[in-house]
Amino acid sequence: MKLRFLVPTGVLIVSPVQAQSFDCRYAASPNEITICGDVRLGALDERMSRLYFRLRSRLFGPDGVRLERSQAAWLRARCGGNRFCLESAHLDRIAELSP
């Protein structure tokens, strides 16, 4: 009987909380590692991602392709793990994607 209560509690403790748009267990780039280590950056990344996917779901054809290319270029050009640069880049991208 005690095991039933211990197992679910252990699972809750082990489960990571995800506040960013990707799984930190697989973070590899300096940007991803920095985002995973900072609650504010994680929240900004999640917000930017929600805006991107909401906009992407509304665009088709050339407009959708342009948005995808723009997002891919933005991801490639990010800040090499610099926390202040990442925060600024995310705030700028959120402004670009906002209605």
For 70-98, the pLDDT digits (tens) are: 999 999 999 999 999 999 999 999 999 99
- Whether 7 has a pLDDT exceeding 80, the answer reads no
The pTM score is 0.77
Residue 19 — very low, low, confident or very high, per pLDDT cuts 50/70/90? low
Give the tokens for residue 77.
């050009």
Q: In degrees rounded to 5, what are phi and psi of residue 15?
A: -65, 125
- Whether 1 has a pLDDT exceeding 50, the answer reads no
Q: Enumerate the domain spans of the chain.
A: 40-99
- Whether 62 has a pLDDT exceeding 80, the answer reads yes
What are the b/e assignments for 35-44, b being 16+ CB within 10 Å? bbebeebbeb
In a 13 Å sphere around the CA of 42, the CA atoms on its Cβ side amount to: 13
Measured between alpha carbons, how far is 42 from 34 in angstroms, rounded to an integer?
A: 9
